[in-house]
Structure 1
Amino acid sequence: MSTSHQTRPSRGDRWSIAAFSLAGVAIAAWIGVSAVMRIIVLAGGTNVPVTLEFVDGVADVALTDGSATVPMELDRGILVAPQLTPIAIVPGILGQLVLILTVVTVVGCLLLLARSILSGHVFSRRNSALVSIAGITGLIGFAAVRFFDNMLANATVSLMTDNRLATAVLTVEPFTWVLASFIVAVIATAFAVGDRLQREKSALEKETEGLV
């Protein structure tokens, strides 16, 4: 006759997981507060700082003594818009709302995963689903945030310069995106395989128990 038991994390592991969980809650709270403050500024529509990304931008920078100017490549800057219209405000607010939803979902899934691990359940269908949801939500959510931020930037430039300033319509870092997707896929696959092996082991133990 065989018996199965759960392997609970050691005290050190429990402390590490607890610290990780607290850090996740702190990060979610900080991002949430920052996003709400940003929404308040955007909703006001006046003196709104907007981050811009430039395409082949070059700016003339004056030397400290004022004797000459030096051309410098400009890839990013902050433009303070004295007045924004709804066409710029709406995507900016949507981006912050998506950011809050994404962070809360990812952190919530990871906290549930940490709780499950603390109780001795590492590989299960539930944990595999939590990892997959957190990974997919993070990839799609942060891409959507960047999309809305670009909409805000382009609308701001259009309103203030009549499109005389060339900014990036939408920038994506392919390597970063592919690397993040690969990491998420590897982690999700590891949990799925671990769950399958654990179920196969449990089924084998039941068969062996029946033969005794």
Structure 2
Amino acid sequence: MKEGPDIARIGMLIGDPARANMLTALLGGQALTATELSQTAGVTLQTASSHLAKLEDGGLILQRKQGRHRYYALADAAAGSLLESIMGFAASRGHVRYRPGPKDPALRKARVCYDHLAGDYGVRMLDSLIRAGSIRIDGEALAVTAEGETRFADFGLDIVALQSSKRPLCKSCLDWSERRTHLAGTLGKALLQHFLENGWARRSPDSRAMVFTPEGERKFMSRFPL
């Protein structure tokens, strides 16, 4: 075997259908119990525990303990970006699983991608910020402009403070449903928190969907016009 990163191992971990379902469930950024993940994957609790141990050993998830309870979450933003990129690649090649039901349109419209906004609304937001000159495309990277710093200050966001994080301030993330990019990074996370804390939207309890209130949707469209 040649030396270098072992992508075969990561592929094996993600490639199992049960583990893939678990990882997709964790893309919402919430920590879930083994029981909840076993139901998502459609396997027994014992089998789910075995899968979770492999994912944790592979660095894709981490375990959090709170009292007697144990919760599982994605290891970090890099794991979330990896999964969303794979989903986007799969969708672009026609490898899509169709699950009819009322949740699908909601997920396509707006959803949580680990810790930032994705879906049609996520893509719209990034497009609007670029067209308004708040964010510029620098090669393959994204950067906040001076005008953008002023605009984000109106949201109560301190760009200097956000830049102090080890994570990138702005990062493009491939959107699997729109097949275009949306905004990730500490800025993407901060904007999503702004929407939630100010009552523009709420998280759906049963999926990654983000449900905007009528007033929140009006404010979103006004702040991010196309």
Q: Which has the larger radius of gyration?
A: 1
When normalised by structure 1's length, the TM-score is 0.24
Instruction: Identify the structure with the greater helix proportion.
Output: 1
Of Structure 1 and Structure 2, which has the larger fraction of its residues in strand? 2
**Bigger relative contact order (CA 8 A; separation at least 6):** 1
